[in-house]
Copies of this chain bind each other. A is one copy, B any other.
Amino acid sequence: MLTIARIAEALGAEAEGDLAIEVHGASEPASAGPDDLALAIAPSWGEALRQGRARAAVLWPGADWRALGLQAAVFAPRGRLAMSRLTQLLDVPPFPAGIHPSAVLDPTARLGDGVGIGALTVIGAGAEIGAGTLIGAHVTIADGARIGPGGIIHPGARVGRHVTIGARVILQPNAAIGGDGFSFVTREPAYVERVRETLGQGPVAVPEDPTWHRIHSLGGVEIGDDVEVGACSTIDSGTIRPTRIGDGTKIDNGVIIGHNVEIGRHCLLCGRVGIAGSTRVGDRVVLAGGVGLADNITIGDDAVITAGSGVLSNVPPGRVMMGYPATRMDTQIESYKALRRLPRILRDLAAGVPKPRRGE
């Protein structure tokens, strides 16, 4: 149980009313009970507050908490930031410290103080786990992999050879770091290699030997500090240098990041993003859900790529891109609008509807 005073202090926020009221958790306004702190960070939640039974709430600045039937209020000028602090305050570690007896630790692995190793987790030879990192059940840490302090590794995550992970990194369930890159070559040039030039108009050239020879991945992965990698997301090993993820970058579920990719700091990669081999992404870039980036391109700092877009060429810093092939968002929206009007215009043209002409 936390008092409203304690919560306001943790949020760095102002509070009014009976600050001694205790709550055990947070809730949406309509379903809140008397011991819940209702989260109503915008006026649109006001009506829902009246439906619930909360005595205290986190409110938008200027809200009249008495009129809303409350006994106490915490004011959050930036509501989602308050949610961040509040949910952090209410959360508990997902796994305990200490080593479960069923874990399989190589005797040469080095574990920092306060590390947690879950049931049936495997830590390879020479691997290093930083102080306070909590690892769940069924995690595989390969020989020689290094993980910094303060991290959380969820069940089923795989950390391969040649992988180095910084401090306070979170790997969600079944994330796979350090698999082999998708990199193959035929002995003679394959048909697909010429397609970009011919636009598919050239003849099909079937090589005598269509075997795809594997380029092995020796470069590993380097992940900075404060990175998060989502469930079932994958980051492949580089060929002869590491695939790199910069500090503070957050990666959602179902994202795949190819070999040799370099991603900067403080990026957001939303669900189902795919980045092909050797592409470079700057700092503070946002890739919305389902975005695909072609191989060997560069995305500038602060670029934003809207959901579902496919980027085939370099993007300058700060540019907002949309669609497939991705172009400037404003241009793309114009095109979409024009396309929407097109069937009618073509019908009009065919029907001979006169257009006003200069001078008429």
The residues of A with any CB-CB pair to B shorter than 8 Å are: 25-28, 31, 39, 78, 80-81, 83-85, 87-88, 90-91, 94, 100, 102, 104, 118-120, 122, 136-138, 140, 142, 154-156, 158, 160-161, 170, 172-174, 176, 178-180, 182, 184-192, 195, 199-201, 204, 206, 210-218, 226, 228, 230-234, 236, 239-241, 248, 250, 252-254, 256, 258, 265-266, 268, 270-272, 274, 276, 283-284, 286, 289-290, 292, 294, 301-302, 304, 306-308, 310, 312, 317-321, 323-325, 327-331, 333-343, 345-346, 349-358, 360
Q: Which of B182, B228, B232 contacts A250 (CB under 8 A)?
A: B182
A-B contact pairs, 7 of them (CB 8 A): A87-B216, A119-B122, A142-B155, A176-B253, A182-B270, A191-B304, A294-B307
Task: Verify B231–A185 contact, CB threshold 8 A.
Answer: no
Task: Verify B274–A272 contact, CB threshold 8 A.
Answer: yes
* Chain B residues, CB < 8 A from A199: 320, 329-330, 333
A305, chain B: closest CB distance, angstroms: 10
How distant is the Cα of A271 from the Cα of B292 in the complex, in angstroms? 10
How distant is the Cα of A90 from the Cα of B170 in the complex, in angstroms? 32
How distant is the Cα of A104 from the Cα of B120 in the complex, in angstroms? 8
Task: Verify A335–B346 contact, CB threshold 8 A.
Answer: no
* Chain B residues, CB < 8 A from A39: 240
* Chain B residues, CB < 8 A from A190: 284, 286
Task: Verify B340–A335 contact, CB threshold 8 A.
Answer: yes
Q: Which of B27, B236, B284, B320 contacts A195 (CB under 8 A)?
A: B320
How distant is the Cα of A343 from the Cα of B173 in the complex, in angstroms? 46
* Chain B residues, CB < 8 A from A256: 230-232, 252-254, 271-272
How distant is the Cα of A78 from the Cα of B215 in the complex, in angstroms? 13
Task: Verify B179–A231 contact, CB threshold 8 A.
Answer: yes
How distant is the Cα of A329 from the Cα of B217 in the complex, in angstroms? 32
Given A172-B179, A176-B173, A336-B325, A213 and B84 touching (CB < 8 A)?
yes
Give how many copies assemble into the complex.
3
How distant is the Cα of A104 from the Cα of B26 in the complex, in angstroms? 33
Q: Which of B81, B140, B343 contacts A136 (CB under 8 A)?
A: B140
Task: Verify B290–A211 contact, CB threshold 8 A.
Answer: no
* Chain B residues, CB < 8 A from A234: 172-174, 230-232, 253-254
Give 12 new A-B contacts, CB below 8 A, not counting A156-B156, A182-B230, A354-B357.
A88-B214, A94-B142, A104-B137, A158-B231, A174-B234, A192-B268, A200-B319, A231-B236, A232-B234, A292-B307, A308-B310, A354-B358
Task: Verify B274–A254 contact, CB threshold 8 A.
Answer: yes
How distant is the Cα of A276 from the Cα of B253 in the complex, in angstroms? 11
* Chain B residues, CB < 8 A from A349: 345, 355
Of all chain B residues, which has the CB nearest A252? Answer: B182
Task: Verify A310–B335 contact, CB threshold 8 A.
Answer: no
Q: Which of B137, B185, B218, B254 contacts A91 (CB under 8 A)?
A: B218
Given A212-B248, A256-B271, A334-B343, A156 and B140 touching (CB < 8 A)?
yes
Task: Verify B161–A172 contact, CB threshold 8 A.
Answer: no
Q: Which of B80, B174, B178, B211 contacts A248 (CB under 8 A)?
A: B211
Task: Verify A276–B270 contact, CB threshold 8 A.
Answer: yes
How distant is the Cα of A27 from the Cα of B218 in the complex, in angstroms? 10
